Amino acid sequence: MYRILLALSALLLSACSTVAPIDHNNDALRVECHWDLQYPSVAPADATLAQLREAATRRLAALNLNAQWELSSEGATAEAFTDSEQDRQRLHRLLSVVLPGLERYPSSFFANVRLHNIVLVKELAVGGQRRLAMPMAEVDSVAYADNSAKLCPAGMEMRVHHEFYHFIDYREHNDYYHADPAWLALNPAELTYGKGGATFYGKNLQDVGHAKPGVVSLYSSYGQEEDKAETFGWMMTPDYAARLDLYAMQDANLAAKLRHMREQFRKYSQAGDVKNN
């Protein structure tokens, strides 16, 4: 039963970073993302699958992370990248965002939150719904996927950090969905969260920044767990962080949430064991 609950939690949460099932090309971050921001290639354009895997393995190993190429998780399905031309391009695109995103953390950060594996796959689906990422705290892993939709790269990096924060949240509270009084105390009195990230999707909605006082984005307002992940995701993605800083200058509640997340980053970046509290 516990395992089923874990799988269900992951299923609901991972809905946050997906394209809508009714339009696989809808990028919910399309409007809010700067498309002209390009990420450098991680390998030569003609790199083979083996060369791409080697580059990823080496760069993740420098962070004490293991690259994994297949996903095995209750209720989720995904495919491994093959050595076809199309798959090489897709893996290249995914790595060009995921690797620099993860390299924004010191390796001590991953050790402190006990993240060991990065699963890189295509066609990730949970309960039949396509997902771009999925936290798997029970196996010390986070999965990132290319589902062939053309996504704004900076938006995909924001998803990298957003999904990682769900993992951190789980480590701190043994639950993806918990009431966190310290976080809730940072909200303006009039803010009421929606019914969770899963209710955002399937409607081809577009996310927008600072949609209401106290939250960094519209999606933040869908649930406490999404608010934390969004605030962290924007803070960690340089292009988004610049906008978050501007919002925070005009919004004391949001400024307090940003301080909270900066403290989280500082705490887990320390060398040596950091106790969750």
Residue numbers of the site for Zn ion (CB under 5 A)? 16, 197, 226, 229
Q: Please identify the residue of the shown chain whose CB is closest to the bound Zn ion.
A: 16
What single letter denotes the amino acid at residue 250?
A: Q
Nearer to Zn ion, 80 or 191 (CB): 191
Give every CB contact of residue 24 below 8 A, 6+ residues apart in sequence.
130, 147, 148, 149
Closest distance to Zn ion from the beta carbon of 106 (Å): 24
What crossing angle do the helices spanning 224-236 and 153-173 adopt, rounded to 10°?
130
Closest distance to Zn ion from the beta carbon of 135 (Å): 9
Nearer to Zn ion, 87 or 227 (CB): 227
Nearer to Zn ion, 118 or 133 (CB): 133
Q: Alpha carbon of 3 to those of 113, 117, 137, 139: distances in Å?
A: 21, 19, 12, 12
Nearer to Zn ion, 42 or 102 (CB): 102
Closest distance to Zn ion from the beta carbon of 133 (Å): 8
Supply φ then ψ for residue 115, to 5 degrees: -95, 125
Conformation bin of residue 201: beta by default, left when phi > 0, alpha when psi is -120 to 50 = beta
Q: d(Cα 34, Cα 191) in Å, to the nearest integer?
A: 28
Closest distance to Zn ion from the beta carbon of 88 (Å): 29
